[in-house]
Amino acid sequence: MSPRFQTARFHVESGPDSLFTRVRHVLGEPVRLRAHGTHVTERLEQRGAPSETLTRFDPGSWELVSAEVRTDTGKWVKSTWRVRADERFWWVVVGLGNALVTVIDVDPRRRGTGEGIVTGGPLYAQVDAVNAELMRGT
């Protein structure tokens, strides 16, 4: 099944700043992430993930890594956060509505700045403008 819309990924180190300001604004408080659905429950189990810890989202102690946006609207749909749990580092992907999308056990040196990260161009400008406008409206 193909996705309903195309997405693009942006990294916190290369912006746009308005996008990451928006993500931090919306996900600004600790919450319990909803870990429902076959994909996420299978990944938690297969990867031996500490689900109790990884579903207690805390933006104050978790590190924002990246955000994905819809290419048609420029609005973000999920974000990736780094957290240390059970002596391992994890990327936790959080979707809209505080949904846990997936978890990935990662090398602590992995930064997520590889290929596929948008760092400029028309989409970058669109995402910056859309998120700056959204922040003006809050």
Sketch the domain layout of the chain as residue ranges.
7-136
Are 8 and 118 within 8 A, CB to CB?
yes
User: CA–CA distance from 58 to each of 34, 39, 133 (Å)?
Assistant: 14, 23, 26
d(CA 101, CA 106): 16
Residue type, 110: R
pLDDT at 3: 64
The model's pLDDT over 30-58, given as tens digits with 9 standing for 90+, comes to 999 999 888 899 989 999 999 999 999 99
pLDDT at 2: 56
CB atoms within 10 A of CB 7: 14
pLDDT at 37: 85
The model's pLDDT over 73-129, given as tens digits with 9 standing for 90+, comes to 999 999 999 999 999 999 999 999 999 999 999 987 888 888 899 999 999 999 999
